[in-house]
Structure 1
Amino acid sequence: MMFETTPLRDVMVITPKVFGDERGFFLESWNARVFAEAGLDLGFVQDNHSRSSRGILRGLHYQTQHTQGKLVRVVAGSVFDVAVDLRRSSPSFGKWFGVELSASNQQMLWVPPGFAHGFYVTSDSADFQYKCTDFYDPASEVALAWNDPTVGIEWPVPEGESPALSGKDAEGLAWDAIPLFD
């Protein structure tokens, strides 16, 4: 696997080795030993899988308690995946990073605890899978507004269109109103 740093401290783009031929392909998406050798000694407790249609935006989510690190990947379709650093002590505090994750590029993104995370579906549909380092805790979940001007994420939403949002995401909080991490 190849582990690439990003402009956000501790966020990594991970490209697995893919072995393929006319029959299809094989790749290893998680190996505790390989990740630990790359400095990511992670203990996952929950796997999630979602399917979304083109134009759906999910996020930007995080939990203030039971903070989750997420190893995210797309197994069908494509998304624009985003992490926002919410850690005051980080040199990348308040900054965002986005990357296309797709079934064809087979890349993954490691989003550590202390980040808001979300994605926008750019294909007809996308199957999104992610491993979490802590359990889902709806009582401590926060949604940062996807279009907050302070953060200024450049989503690939076509001109004149708006993303489809859940009720929770439509009511996302402004940067100045969200709880942050030290």
Structure 2
Amino acid sequence: MKVEQTKIEGLLIIHPTVFGDDRGWFMESFNQQRFANALQELGLDVPEFVQDNHSLSQTGVLRGLHYQNAPYAQGKLVRVVQGKAWDVAVDIRKDSKTYGQWVGIELSAQNKTMFWIPEGFAHGFIALEDNTQFLYKATNYYDKESEGAILWDDPSLAIEWPLENIAEVLVSDKDKIADAFHLLK
């Protein structure tokens, strides 16, 4: 596996080693020891995953920007196992020099890329193809009382969502009334 650092400390892009031939391909989708070693080499904390989540979305479905407050904050290791999505993480660590900055990456079944998003980030994605299946490992259990959301199109964040081939952005009622970034608690 190859680990690529982003412009925001702690956010990592992970490219798994894929072995392919005329029969198809094989890859380790997760290996705790290799993941831990990669994080330790970068001086980052090694998480313990406690929950896997899986969603299905059609083209234009946008989920996010979601986060959970302490003590239920979650780190997420995310990937797309079918289809294609644009995935975004926003730094919401108030003491961070990159507070309010974001990183976006295309995740797809074809590129098999993964995105490590540690605690302290809001997370969201938009499905770029029908039947996009998004799979992620979480470091903490979901707690409804600790959840938060930031408007996906908050102008102060200026996230560059790839909307040119999206006929309609489909957002849940809950995400339509999410907080503006400047109202973050």
- Structure 2 gap segments, 5+ residues each: 40-44
Q: Distance in 1 between matches of 2:120 and 2:59?
A: 28
What whole-Å deviation, never above 9, does each CA across 1:34-71 have from its counterpart, x for those lacking one?
Answer: 11111252210000000000000000000013100000
Q: SS of the residue aligned with 2:119?
A: coil
Q: Which amino acid aligns with 1:85?
A: D
| Contact 1:79 1:119 survives alignment (8 Å) | yes
Q: Which residue of 1 aligns with 2:126?
A: 120
Q: Distance in 1 between matches of 2:46 and 2:26?
A: 24
| Contact 2:60 2:169 survives alignment (8 Å) | yes
Q: Which residue of 1 aligns with 2:59?
A: 54
Q: Which residue of 1 aligns with 2:157?
A: 151
Q: Which residue of 2 aligns with 1:27?
A: 27
Q: SS of the residue aligned with 2:174?
A: helix
Q: Distance in 2 between matches of 1:160 and 1:108?
A: 23
Q: Distance in 2 between matches of 1:161 and 1:76?
A: 21
Q: Distance in 2 between matches of 1:100 and 1:118?
A: 12
Provide the identity percentage: 49
* 1:78 corresponds to which of 63, 84, 96: 84
Q: Which runs of 4+ in 1 moved over 6 A?
A: none
Q: Which residue of 1 aligns with 2:141?
A: 135
Q: SS of the residue aligned with 2:126?
A: strand
- Aligned-residue CA RMSD (Å): 1.3
Per-residue deviation, 1:159: 7.3
Q: Which residue of 1 aligns with 2:18?
A: 18
| Contact 1:32 1:41 survives alignment (8 Å) | no
TM-score (norm 1): 0.95
TM-score (norm 2): 0.93
Q: Distance in 2 between matches of 1:80 and 1:159?
A: 12
How many residues align structurally? 179
Q: Distance in 2 between matches of 1:159 and 1:128?
A: 20
Q: SS of the residue aligned with 1:47?
A: strand
Per mean C-alpha deviation after superposition, the further-off stretch among 2-11 and 33-42 is 33-42
* 1:104 corresponds to which of 110, 120, 135: 110
Q: Which amino acid aligns with 1:31?
A: N
Do the aligned partners of residues 145 and 31 (structure 1) sit closer, same or farther apart at CA in structure 2, a change above 3 Å counting?
same
- The answer to whether structure 1 residue 165 and structure 2 residue 168 are counterparts is no
Q: Distance in 2 between matches of 1:83 and 1:73?
A: 13
| Contact 1:85 1:96 survives alignment (8 Å) | yes
Q: Distance in 1 between matches of 2:95 and 2:4?
A: 22
